[in-house]
Amino acid sequence: MRPRNIGDVILDVKNISLSFGGVKALQNISFDVKEHEVRAIIGPNGAGKSSMLNCINGVYHPQEGEIVYQGEVRRDMDTHHAAESGIGRTFQNLALFKGMSVLDNIMTGRNLKMKTGILAQALHLGPARAEELREREFVEHVIDFLEIQAYRKTPVGRMPYGLQKRVDLGRALAAQPKVLLLDEPMAGMNMEEKQDMCRFVLDINDEFGTTIVLIEHDMGVVMDISDRVVVLDYGRKIGDGTPEVVRNDPEVIKAYLGVGH
């Protein structure tokens, strides 16, 4: 077991309900995330896992409930504010910038830190140039960390799927997030790719102390790397606790195995 250094609650989700038209995507969901932990959200397809992440970083706006992040209480997270206050995010279906190279994708993830004005950039003045070089250097660290140096200038669309997932992760990492929301980072990967991705996730958690909220279908992975697990089913929370507790919860087993249907 890795040495853990779990801190206080950094993100507290309280009684969140979200619906689209008549469809209730989330009903009265509450859970918390502690600093530096790896927190997994699991559940069958359509359970509302992605919707939950979308509420946390402000893509969707829940009708009820509140989200407390770093002591700040709000219902409606605004996406920009979420990003600025250190919530990073990857996507279930790759949402990379297809027309851009790997380097540019990750550089774009760094955009929040870049402040020079439009005129300075147009004229390529000293500060704009210096900023570009400084941030490029940081981004190169991210590229090294994810071991994708050889693809720096490749258009992301031309890369293999597993590596595109890494670029997605890199783009989120470039902003140095405090909390990283990972939406099925290992979906569609083979065993080796999954192992690589697990290693990256754990390294991020260890080396940078980043808090990780992770959606994953592979139970083996979830049980191995997460500290605590939330289980959703049809928009409701049916389980919460350490992997062992969740694994033995009769209701969770029922939802997964379909007993009684």
Partner 1 sequence: MATKKNGPVIALGVVLGIGFVAPLLAGQPLGFFLEVTLGGLMAGVLYSLVALGFVLIFKASGVFNFAQGAMVLFAALALARLAEWLPGWVGIPAGLPALALAFVLATGIMIVLAMLIERIVLRPLVAQDPVALLMATLGVTFFLDGFGQTIWGSDVYKIDMGISKDPTIILESMFQGGILISKEDLVATVIAAVLVLGLAIFFQKTATGRALRAVADDHQAAQSIGIPLNRIWVIVWAVAGFVALVAGMVWGAKLGVQFSLAQLALKALPVVILGGFTSIPGAILGGLIIGVGEKISEVFLGPVLIKAFDLAGGGIENWFAYVLALLFLMVRPEGLFGEKHIDRV
Partner 2 sequence: MFYRENGQFKSTYREDQQILGIRQDRWFIFGLIAFALLVVPYWGSDYMFRAILIPFLIVSLAAIGLNLLVGYCGQISLGHAAFMAIGAYAAYNIVVHFPGLNFIVVLVLAGLVSALVGILFGLPSLQIKGLYLGVATLAAQFFVDWVFARVKWFTNYSSSGGVSTAPVEMFGWTIDTPMEKYVFILVVVMVFTLMAKNLVRGHIGRSWMAMRDMDVAAEVIGIRPMYAKLTAFAVSAFYAGVAGAMWGFLHLGSWEPAAFSINFSLNLLFMIIIGGMGSILGSFIGAAFIVLLPLALSQALPLLNNLGLKVDTAMASHLEFMIFGALIVFFLIVEPLGIARLWAVAKEKLRLWPFPH
Interface residues with partner 2 (CB under 8 A) are 57, 59, 79-80, 82-84, 88-89, 91, 95-100, 104, 107-112, 114, 116, 118, 121-124, 128-129, 131-133, 135-137, 140, 171-172, 175
Least CB distance to partner 1 at residue 61 (A): 8
Residue 108 engages partner 1 in binding (rule: CB under 8 A): no
The Cα 79–Cα 99 span in angstroms is 23
User: Smallest gap, in angstroms, from Cβ of residue 182 to partner 2?
Assistant: 13
Tokens matching residue 148: 């994708």
Nearest Cα neighbor of 173 from 194, 146, 151, 191 is: 146
What does 219 bind: partner 1, partner 2, none (CB cut-off 5 to 8 Å by kind)? none
Question: Considering the rule CB under 8 A, would residue 3 count as an interface residue with partner 1?
Answer: no
Give a three-class secondary structure readout of 37-89.
CEEEEECCCCCCHHHHHHHHCCCCCCCEEEEEECCEEECCCCHHHHHHCCEEE
Taking the complex as a whole, how short is the minimal distance between the CB of residue 116 and partner 2, in angstroms?
Answer: 8
Half-sphere CA count of 45, side-chain side, radius 13 A: 2
- Contact status: 92 vs partner 1 (CB under 8 A): yes
Binding flags for partner 1, 30-59, as an x/- string (CB under 8 A): --------------------x---x----x
Task: Say if residues 105 and 167 touch (Cβ distance below 8 Å).
Answer: yes
Binding residues for partner 1, rule: CB under 8 A, are 19-22, 50, 54, 59, 61, 63, 91-93, 95
